[in-house]
Amino acid sequence: MFDEDDDNESFGFEDHLEQQANKVRSKIKAEAKKEFIDGCYMAYDMLVSKGPEALESGDMTSICNAINRMMSLFLIREEYERCQFLKQYVDENIPGHEIVPDPMVNLELGE
């Protein structure tokens, strides 16, 4: 009923599909990583250029979470000047918020 060659061809096709799926997953992950990093730098630039006005355009909880995630990225990349700016920005503009770097960023970036 089953020919060994048919089984090998089927296995080869399944391997091919798995490889393609892995490539797609890798591309999606790389694009998400790039978008996150680009977004952090854009948000940082907005904080620098707009100062306190940057806080007017969003939900404070979301902004604080974004700052925590940015801090994680900048710590990972050893961009301590940016970390210092974020700390000073929060101290001056978001009293009561304590920056807590998001540990998930390290896992998401795979660094």
Instruction: Give the model's confidence band at 20: pLDDT under 50 very low, under 70 low, under 90 confident, else very high.
Output: confident
CB-CB contact of 58 with 90 (8 Å): no
Residue 49 lies in a domain: yes
Q: Measured between alpha carbons, how far is 70 from 40 in angstroms, rounded to an integer?
A: 6
Instruction: Give the model's confidence band at 82: pLDDT under 50 very low, under 70 low, under 90 confident, else very high.
Output: very high
CA torsion 10-14-19-20 (nearest 10°) is 100
Residue 73 lies in a domain: yes
Number of domains the chain is built from:
1
Quick check: 21 pLDDT over 90? no
Q: How does DSSP assign 70-86, residue by residue?
A: HHHHHHHTT-HHHHHHH
Residue 91 lies in a domain: yes
pLDDT at 9: 56
Instruction: Give the model's confidence band at 7: pLDDT under 50 very low, under 70 low, under 90 confident, else very high.
Output: low
Q: Which two tokens stand for residue 17?
A: 């599909």
pLDDT tens digit sequence for 44-72:
999 999 999 999 988 999 999 999 999 99
Residue 13 lies in a domain: no
Residue 55: give the domain boundaries: 34-109
Residue 21 lies in a domain: no
